[in-house]
Chain A
Amino acid sequence: MFKNTMKKDAIHKRKQFKAFAVAFAVFMCGGGVSGCAGGASDPVSATQGDAARAVERDITSANNAVDFDHKLDGYAPLNKEYNFYFTYKMVHPWWDAVALGIEDAANQYQQEGVTINYEYLAPNEALADEQIRRLTDAADRGFDVIGVDVADVGRVTPVINKLIADGQKVMTFSSSDAGKEDGCHRIAYVGNTHNYEDGADLTEALCQKLSYRGKVAILVGVKEAPCHEDRARGAKDVISNYPGMEIAEVAYDEDNVEKAYELTKEILKRHSDLAGIICCNMCNPVGAARAVVEAGREDNIVIVGMDHDQEALTYLKDGVIYALGVQDCYSIGFDTVQVAVKIADGHQPGEAYPEKTEENTTIIYQDEAAIMLGILYGKME
């Protein structure tokens, strides 16, 4: 009983914090308006119109970027205990965020008397073979549901289909789906369904920031990773729309920050006139920002990227990164467990859950960085 109370108090605190964040953003915007007059030609400095848009978005996006107030949807599980197996691309903080959603959902089920046993494992590197192995191993261990964040659609889909064919209940989750259109027979997907749009939106923001002129580099995560590739594609499509924009290079960091850093340094060396960097995963913007700062070119290069890495958010707050697309990882994890329970209970998509459960991505800017840091990491500075 005591722990329940404490839990509710914690949730209530978070709501209070969000309200404060909104007020703080309003205050900060007021300051921005007054401090950013002119400089419209400055490719880095936010224009007045940008700021105004950002304010509009901040008010809504800051509240909706991540939904930590998840409650179980009221579905009554048919069993008292479930065993799930989740595997994802690689060990990375991003999936740690998803893991928190899974953990909270399991805890809530536990409080309702339903035990959720699960494994949430990934290789240290994003390797399709490893993922296949894991899926294969899991199939032999009798899990109620197997979930997979598809590392490589082409290679993993057959395995999924085989598992399905073997009677396994397989679902996809997190960042990369292997959908029906890919020939995959997975039962459902919970996660980001708009990676392309995310890439396009970020790129559009960048282009706008650069006044649609300039040379940009695109950093991508893992080759063949659907989410990464989709974002890159969206970025390229946007760039292609603006004649003043030019893609200098496209590079893959394999979801490694250090590699992103190194790649960026090289790109910077190669492109002294580089005006922007489009980052398609979580590691890209951190490495890119480090390199840009290191190169002292943060005032000349506009960086946009994905996800909620704390360092990235700090760079965003500091103005090194211009915009970040923050996914609701917590909801992904939480909803994955809810869908898995229903799948385990034999429900098919459309009855108790959609075939694709979409999770939001919110583009945030400098003025929202502190808020987001507070929301996600408890840091207000």
Chain B
Amino acid sequence: MKISVQNRSNGSQRKRAVVYAVLCGGLIAAVFLLSTLWVSNGASTGTNEAVNRVSEFYLEELAGRRAQVVSEELKNHFDYIENSLKIIESSDLESQEALRAFLGKVKKLYGVDKFAVIDENGIVYTEHSTTSGLSRYPFLSGELEGPTVSTASLYGAKKQVILAVPVDDLEFLGARIKVCFTQINIDEMISSLTLKTRFNETYCGLYYGNGEDLTNEDFGTIKSGYNLLTVLREADFADGYSYDRMKEDFANARQGQVSFDLNGSSQALCYIPVEGTNWMLTILIRDNVISSQISSISSGMMRRGIVQMIITVIAMFAVFLVLIGQSRKNARIMLEQEREDGNRIRAAFAQIEKEQAAMDNIHAALGSGLWSMEFDGHAKMLSCTWSQAFREMIGYNGEEDFPNKVDSWLDLLHPEEKEYVINEYWDTVNDYTGDKTFNVEYRLLTKKAGYRWFHSAGRLSRREDGSPIMFVGLFVDIDDEKKMEECLERQKVDLQDALAAAQHANRAKTTFLNNMSHDIRTPMNAIIGFTSLAAAHIDNKEQVQDYLSKITTSSNHLLSLINDVLDMSRIESGRVKIEEKEAFLPEIMHDIKTIVQADISSKQLEFYIDTADVINETILCDKLRLNQVLLNLLSNAMKFTKPGGIVSVRILQKNNAPEGFAFYEFQVKDTGIGMSKEFLEHVFEPFEREKTSTVSGIQGTGLGMAITKNIVDMMGGTISVSSEEGKGTTFIVSLQFQTCSGTVRQDVVPELKGLRALVADDDFNTCSSVTNMLSVIGMRPDWTTSGKEAVLHAKLAAEQGDEYFVYIIDWLMPDMNGIEVVRRIRGIIGEDKPIIILTAYDWSDIEEEARDAGVTAFCSKPIFLSELREILESPFTVSKEEEPNLDDNTVFLGKKILLVEDNEINQEIAVEILKEAGFAMDVAGNGAIAVEKIRDAVPGQYDLILMDIQMPVMDGYEAARQIRAMENCALAGIPIIAMTANAFEEDKKAAFEAGMNGHAAKPIDTPKLMELLREILK
């Protein structure tokens, strides 16, 4: 049913289409017809007007030219006559034959119809005839006054133009030649002037002024022989022209032009007088002939136009029908094609969906997402589309979370890449050449995983002018790859650094070996050389002692060199461990001061050491390593500072440490030679020495700073250095330690509260630090950096009645040393008040003098709060304790030591040293022997065992363990001291773990060994 209705509807539509087509065709035909008629009519009218205008110009031109031709023709003929009369000779007039011959030649010469002379009797002589002319030639009726143009209407309508010239002085056969003339056939003359055309629309005529015809030729529609004026009397003259005026023009020989209708023919006539005659030359154009021709042409054109239009319409209709048929056919074909296309499209869509799904899977698998942007012709973005895969890649669910706007993406760009990415994006969009491709890597802030690296690439489809149409691209999550790359890059950098370091280290080691060769050979040269000299001068005791002293110095240097090398080796091998134990910071610092004191003095350096804001004095640290660090720094400072220079140490506690920790900054400063900037970069690298070191004669291994740096690193601290060549160097070690017993007591000492104290020290830092401490404990401190001023302060206080309760005076001050200051102050205040000498130097040499001057007590720098409090709180009377006599070896007398040493030389050295000290010595060649000897010994046989570690058969550790494992407790408990070249900390630890009681490193430092022995045997 639906199909039927559809068919009827289609049929109705087709009918309407046909009706519309026919109507349109008819309309087009009507338009064609009307336009053709209109154009033809306009062309005809215009042509007529043009013809009239052209006719007027044409006629005037024609008439003028032809009149001129006629006039010139006549003139020429007169010239012929004149010329002939000039050339005629008497011989030509001797006979009729001669005259005829002459006339014949002239006629031939000028090409005229007739050339003749007439005598006074009217006899006309020509080339071949002699005739009577009186009745034939009217001009013979009288005397010619001059050249005359006349016409003769001869029998048979032979109208002739006769040009006669009077002759004066010629006679022929007794008669006077009266006239000479030529005769021209008018018809021939006119015919040469008439424009002969196919339709013969232009005519030329000659008329007398009275309108009589001179010719035998028809003049247009006017037959020959008719009087023109008579004929035109009946003509219908056009507007602006009149018969009377034309007639008047003819009578008065005036030029003119008229247009008229005659016998149904529209004609234009132009007339112009011929000069020298009473003739009027006329030109006639039959306008209607031209018009009819034009009309004929126009009609023909119109007919052809109509026929063409009809053919066109028919052709159009035929084409229309063909097109309809073809369109139906095409429609059927297209319908079939649409069905087929529909199937193909559906299949294609299915395939596309499959491929899309596959592509989604690929995107999902690859971690990539599509995006697209559409632009108008001005590169203005019309739309932006982010694929769901992309959204999911960056942790967003849908368009609400991540709208289809380019800003959604831009807002998430990492600031470091944002500008670059945006520039690349717009550069690509605005690159109308299409060469540029968007291909960038950047970080994008994901919703859940922070910034991740993405790779985005895209290309633009463009219009012909290059403006963008569609920008389609792909995102790929490359974060893992990027991080891998970064890791690889870092590794690469590290490897490169390592390689560089290795290469540098290699070079440094080479340098080191060169230096070591030099450094080792130097003391060895001294040792060997002085040993030889000592042997050679064995009898000269003083000289030998001097040699031995130098040998000792060189040996010590050589030993320190070896120690450093070994330390570095252990650090690099990772065998050095930080072992934190409770330590008292003041003790550490005082020990350090004590250690360097001798060198400070020997090198004649100024030494300052002080503290600032230290409130945590008991800390958990590796005291040994901290000492090593500070001593290394001080050793360097002293080494590179010339006599008179300053070396200072300062300990500052920072207050930025977390709870339970204390943060310290150790500053070691000197005014030495400083370091170059180049060397500063490598100062902490092993085997590095400023190239000037050896040159300057300063010995070193080049390992001190590397060891220091490594230890600081192991302690979790930092070390920095600033230096300027020629001015000095400052090392700052920052370390954080766990505190053990909290802060020191900071409460006010009631006994001292409000009492005045005077601090005099040329070091401002010391003044400040001590003053602060005094304030903490409740005193009223004053300070001065001048000794004289301190005296003055004391005097002033005494005079004011507000004396200082205590005086803390530096020993060495520039303007006045501390002893003198004390002496003067004592002179003011008497002996009541305590005066404390605060010094960084060993005061033992001046202690007696100082006490005589009135010094109450000595206090070693740096002074800590606890120490100051203790000093001020303790009774000011000092009980002199008996100092142990380190040189007293009486305690060793009778003591028997078992020396376990495999090296015979070492055995000999040790035995000699220990025997010298009073010990009885027994020797065992290795551990096993030692164990046997102990096992075989009776309790009390040996008081102590000095155990080498590395020995054949049985090493020292094993031997110690077996001894300790002996059942005889007395034997198993014999003190054992490791005396070994294994001098490292772990060696010490191993020794203790093996059950030993002490550790003495080789080479034997006799005093230290004695002290150790004394302590253990005590």
Q: Which residues of A pack against B, CB within 8 Å?
A: 3, 6, 9-10, 13-14, 17, 20, 66, 68, 91-93, 95-97, 99-100, 103, 106, 110, 115-122, 124, 308, 310, 329-330, 373-381
Contact = CB atoms under 8 A, between A and B. Distances in A.
B230 A13 contact: no
A378 to B, nearest CB: 4
A168 B602 CA distance: 195
Nearest to B96: A119
B225 A96 contact: no
A379 B185 CA distance: 17
B215 to A, nearest CB: 8
A378 B154 CA distance: 9
B213 A378 contact: yes
A10 B129 contact: no
Nearest to A92: B135
A378 B223 CA distance: 10
B129 A13 contact: no
B247 to A, nearest CB: 15
A328 to B, nearest CB: 11
B132 A91 contact: yes
A91 B415 CA distance: 140
B803 interface: no
The secondary-structure label for the interface of chain A is helix
B719 to A, nearest CB: 138
B101 to A, nearest CB: 11
A268 to B, nearest CB: 27
Contacts of A3: 188
Contact of A380 (B134, B136, B154, B226): B226
A97 B130 contact: no
A119 B122 contact: no
Looking at A66, A96, A373, the one whose CB has the most chain B CB atoms below 10 A away is A96
A92 B131 CA distance: 12
A330 B157 contact: no
B132 A121 contact: yes
A106 B131 CA distance: 13
A120 B129 contact: yes
B199 interface: no
A28 to B, nearest CB: 14
A106 B213 contact: no
A11 B230 CA distance: 27
B132 A14 contact: no
Contacts of B132: 91, 95, 120-122
A366 to B, nearest CB: 18
Contact of B156 (A13, A66, A120): A66
A16 to B, nearest CB: 9
B226 A381 contact: yes
Contacts of A310: 153
B153 A378 contact: yes
A329 B155 contact: yes
A118 B129 contact: yes
A6 B227 contact: no
A110 B230 contact: no
Contacts of B226: 380-381
A380 B224 CA distance: 8
Interface string B212-231: 11011100000111110010
Nearest to B224: A378
A106 B134 contact: no
A374 B157 CA distance: 7
Contacts of B129: 103, 106, 117-120
Contact of B225 (A68, A110, A121, A379): A379
Interface residues of B, number: 33
Contacts of B158: 100
A342 B212 CA distance: 42
A110 to B, nearest CB: 7
A22 to B, nearest CB: 14
Given A9-B191, A99-B136, A379-B212, A121 B131 contact: yes
B128 interface: yes
A17 B218 CA distance: 10
14 contacts: A10-B188, A17-B216, A20-B223, A93-B136, A95-B135, A118-B128, A118-B130, A119-B129, A121-B123, A121-B131, A374-B157, A375-B157, A378-B213, A378-B216
Contacts of B157: 14, 374-378
A17 B156 CA distance: 12
Given A10-B216, A378-B225, 18 more contacts: A6-B187, A6-B191, A9-B191, A20-B223, A95-B135, A115-B128, A117-B129, A118-B130, A119-B129, A120-B131, A121-B123, A121-B130, A329-B155, A374-B157, A374-B225, A377-B155, A377-B157, A378-B213
Contacts of B191: 6, 9
A379 B224 CA distance: 8
A381 B226 CA distance: 6
B154 A100 contact: yes
A119 B223 contact: no
A182 B223 CA distance: 49
Nearest to A119: B130
B122 A91 contact: yes
A96 B136 contact: yes
A115 B217 CA distance: 30
A111 to B, nearest CB: 13
B159 A378 contact: yes
B100 interface: yes
Given A99-B136, A376-B155, A377-B153, A120 B225 contact: no
A152 B408 CA distance: 148
Contacts of B130: 118-121
A96 B135 contact: yes
A91 B136 CA distance: 9
Contacts of B159: 378
Nearest to A121: B132
Nearest to B121: A124
B131 A381 contact: no
A97 B224 contact: no
A380 B156 contact: no
B216 A91 contact: no
A197 B122 CA distance: 35
Contact of B100 (A13, A17, A117): A117
B155 A308 contact: yes
A370 to B, nearest CB: 9
Contacts of A379: 153, 212-213, 225
A106 B227 CA distance: 33
A319 B187 CA distance: 31
A329 B128 CA distance: 21
B347 to A, nearest CB: 93
Looking at B157, B159, B187, the one whose CB has the most chain A CB atoms below 10 A away is B157
A273 to B, nearest CB: 36
Interface in B189-223: 191, 212-213, 215-217, 223
A189 to B, nearest CB: 21
B155 A330 contact: yes
Interface in B159-178: 159
Contacts of B225: 373-374, 377-381
Nearest to A373: B225
Contacts of A13: 187, 216-217, 224
A91 B135 contact: yes
Interface string B866-882: 00000000000000000
B90 to A, nearest CB: 22
Contacts of A20: 223
Contacts of A66: 156
A379 to B, nearest CB: 5
A178 to B, nearest CB: 21
Nearest to B153: A377
Given A10-B216, A17-B224, A106 B155 contact: no
A3 B112 CA distance: 11
A381 B227 contact: yes
Nearest to B211: A381
A223 B130 CA distance: 28
Contact of B223 (A95, A121, A380): A380
B156 A376 contact: yes
A245 B5 CA distance: 117
